[in-house]
Amino acid sequence: MQQEAGAPKQKAGAQRRGYHHGNLREALLEAAEALITEHGPDNFTMADACRRAGVSTAAPYRHFEDRNALMEAVCMRAFDGLAAATGGAKAPFEEGSVESILAGGKAYLGFALENPERFRLMFGRNPDLKSRPHVELAGRACFQNLLASVSAFLASRGQSGADPMPLALRLWSLVHGVASLAIDGPMDIIAPGNDPEAIIDESGRAILAAV
């Protein structure tokens, strides 16, 4: 899902050698991730990324069509990270078990807490970003994880043929709500010292038990 332009160049580990940077695309991605982590996606500027990478402000446009294209690349990396986090958390548990589903939800929350600005980039409303097929696909792939778990859960409850979507949406809404409130501040302001994981655990069990 990348190759903007054709020719090979010095690839990995390249340092600035002279006139040419050598690995600017990767350097910009790393700069963007760092700056987004630090200041949030809204305050990210191309100029900042250029300064951090040590190039002129026109250089990025050889590698990314515009600011949003760079954001898109960062966004997709973030989705990969989220999928890895949730997938990894479920691994130790039996597929379709309550524990595995809750572990996935808590990993989703953990990712949001550890990478709040990435999370905002992924789920904030940026119509231009949302409409990019790659981003949409990455999000969909993430959700497949949950759908599969829910299908297995329903099967273990004797509902093999049932549509997993309604239950998956309930669980996703819960977990996403906890994560959003936790990182956007209201939860800390309103109820400092609470435990977001506990909310997922208790409400999640209630929702699963109601099937």
Partner DNA sequence: TTCGCCATGTTAGTGTCGCTAACTTGCCTT
Partner DNA sequence: AAGGCAAGTTAGCGACACTAACATGGCGAA
CA–CA separation, 18 and 204 (whole Å): 56
What is the footprint of a copy of itself within residues 39-98 (CB under 8 A)?
40, 42
CA distance 83 to 198: 22
Question: Binding residues for a copy of itself, how many (CB under 8 A)?
Answer: 45
- The two structure tokens encoding residue 157: 């409850």
| Strand stretches in 35-184, DSSP E | none
Q: Which does 19 bind (CB under 5 to 8 A by kind): a copy of itself, DNA, none?
A: DNA
Residue 26 vs 188, nearer CB to DNA: 26
Among residues 118, 36, 27, 39, which one has the least CA distance to residue 76? 118
Residue in 10, 144, 160, 173 binding DNA, rule: CB under 7 A: 10
Cβ proximity of 183 and 119 under 8 Å = yes
Measure the CA angle with vertex 130, ends 124 and 133; round to 5°.
150
Token digits for 47? 């100029």
Ordered DSSP codes for 95-153: TT-HHHHHHHHHHHHHHHHHSHHHHHHHHS--HHHHTSHHHHHHHHHHHHHHHHHHHHH
User: What residue 186 binds from DNA, a copy of itself, none (CB within 5 to 8 A, per partner kind)?
Assistant: a copy of itself
Partner in contact with 190, chosen from DNA, a copy of itself, none, beta carbon below 5 to 8 Å by kind? a copy of itself
From the list DNA, a copy of itself, none, pick the one residue 58 interacts with, judged by a Cβ distance below 5 to 8 Å according to partner type: DNA
> Considering the complex, what minimum distance in angstroms separates the CB of residue 175 from a copy of itself?
7
φ, ψ dihedrals at 15, nearest 5°: -105, 165
Residue 141 binds what, of DNA, a copy of itself, none (CB under 5 to 8 Å, by partner type)?
none
Q: Judged by CB under 7 A, how many residues of this single chain contact DNA?
A: 34
Could you list the residues that contact a copy of itself (CB under 8 A)?
Answer: 40, 42, 116, 120, 123-127, 130, 136, 139-140, 143, 165-166, 169-170, 172-178, 180-181, 183-187, 189-191, 194, 198-199, 202-203, 205-207, 209-210
Could you list the residues that contact DNA (CB under 7 A)?
Answer: 1, 3-10, 17-24, 44-48, 54-59, 61-63, 66-68
